[in-house]
Amino acid sequence: MNGIDKLKNYPHKHLLGIEGLLPNSLNFLLDLSQKYVKFLEKNSKKLDYLKNKTCINLFFENSTRTRTSFELAGKKLGADMLNISVGTSSIKKGETLIDTAMTLNAMQPDLIVVRHNDAGAVKLLSEKVNCGVINAGDGPHEHPTQALLDALTILSRKKTIAGLKVAICGDIMHSRVARSNIHLLNTLGAEVRVIGPATLIPKEIDSLGVKVFYNMKDGLKDIDIIIMLRLQLERMSGSFVPSIREYFRFYGLDREKLNYAKPDALILHPGPMNRGVEIDTELADDLDRSAIFDQVRMGVAVRMACLKALVKK
């Protein structure tokens, strides 16, 4: 990838969200990710594209998949990866987000990956630093690399996104994964539905170009891809579902509900999963129907592509 290709296809300093990205940019990142999938299948060695570059992982919220895969991705490309643990940083002494950003900026990193519990916090931080910033999830707003790895997983199994019918099911209200996926899938030509109880579907969701369903039977009809979402209890104030048992009965994906979709419908889940809440445990482990661990594998390749595209040579 030369500098001209990069500027033409991904003419952005940061990756703060999927909203507003053109098909060209999405396809550029997905094509590069596919190259890294192939590379990772064949090689255990490291590349040196990002040799002498320093990337910082700054996570204000817990993470297993995203933080680890950014670290692994950076190391595969030869970068020095630093992890800042918010629990042992000066944020605990009252340092603000902006002061933290300006402090890190003074150390001249080449890229910062940020997860924060507030929507918009990553954009605010990006305005205070000189290097590129990747949003690793900001509150209920966006999680762009998750949508990219979901798209890469779909491409690996279905070879296309255009024309597919995709259902995103569960807690749409509190889900940044839902928002980023809606933007990406619509931009690349899929038909997107959301399914869930009325209490967990925001009123304005149809302005994002999705069809809304309140029951799994109607919503899953003719569906190619089912993206199950966790109940984001940590973002809920008050009661959104009568009980977990009732939620699973009506909205938890099991064999019976899966039969409403196409016979070859593929199940995705961004993780972490709550088995027996939004998905039946045996179905989650059925590797013919569920691509949940493929998604994790694709995450490393997607994050390699994003780091490569954003770190300045």
Partners of 225 in the beta sheet? 166, 266
Helices 144-158 & 176-187, crossing angle to 10 degrees?
50
| Cβ 301 to ligand CP shortest distance, Å | 15
Q: Which is nearer to ligand CP, 6 or 75 (CB)?
A: 75
Mark the segment that binds ligand CP (CB under 6 A) among 10-18, 38-46, 63-71, 158-166: 63-71
| Cβ 28 to ligand CP shortest distance, Å | 23
Distance of CA 233 to CAs 127, 144, 262, Å?
31, 21, 30
Q: Which is nearer to ligand CP, 170 or 271 (CB)?
A: 271
Q: Which is nearer to ligand CP, 147 or 261 (CB)?
A: 147
Mark the segment that binds ligand CP (CB under 6 A) among 75-83, 185-193, 267-275, 280-288: 267-275
64 scored as a contact of ligand CP (CB under 6 A): yes
Q: Which is nearer to ligand CP, 191 or 291 (CB)?
A: 291
Helices 65-76 & 292-310, crossing angle to 10 degrees?
50
Sign for the pseudo-dihedral over CA of 48, 129, 16, 235: positive
Given 109, 140, 219, 270, the residue binding ligand CP (CB under 6 A) = 270
180 scored as a contact of ligand CP (CB under 6 A): no
63 scored as a contact of ligand CP (CB under 6 A): yes
Q: Which of residues 101-140 bind ligand CP (CB under 6 A)?
A: 137
235 scored as a contact of ligand CP (CB under 6 A): no
Alpha helices per DSSP H over the chain: 3-9, 23-42, 65-76, 97-106, 121-126, 144-158, 176-187, 216-219, 244-251, 255-258, 281-284, 292-310
Given 65, 75, 211, 262, the residue binding ligand CP (CB under 6 A) = 65
Mark the segment that binds ligand CP (CB under 6 A) among 1-9, 25-33, 64-72, 197-205: 64-72
- Tell me, by CB under 6 A, how many residues bind ligand CP: 9
Nearest in space to 27 (alpha carbons), one of 9, 5, 44? 9
Given 271, 301, 302, 305, the residue binding ligand CP (CB under 6 A) = 271
Residue 50: both structure tokens together: 């990002």
Partners of 132 in the beta sheet? 111
Please name the residue that has the structure tokens 């098909």: 23
End-to-end CA gap in the chain: 11
66 scored as a contact of ligand CP (CB under 6 A): yes
b/e 265-293 (16+ beta carbons within 10 angstroms → b): bbbbbbbebbeebbbbeebbeeeebbbbe
Mark the segment that binds ligand CP (CB under 6 A) among 62-70, 72-80, 243-251, 305-313: 62-70
| Cβ 17 to ligand CP shortest distance, Å | 15
86 three-state secondary structure: helix
146 scored as a contact of ligand CP (CB under 6 A): yes
Please name the residue that has the structure tokens 């990205």: 21
144 scored as a contact of ligand CP (CB under 6 A): no
The footprint of ligand CP (CB under 6 A) covers: 63-66, 137, 146, 270-272
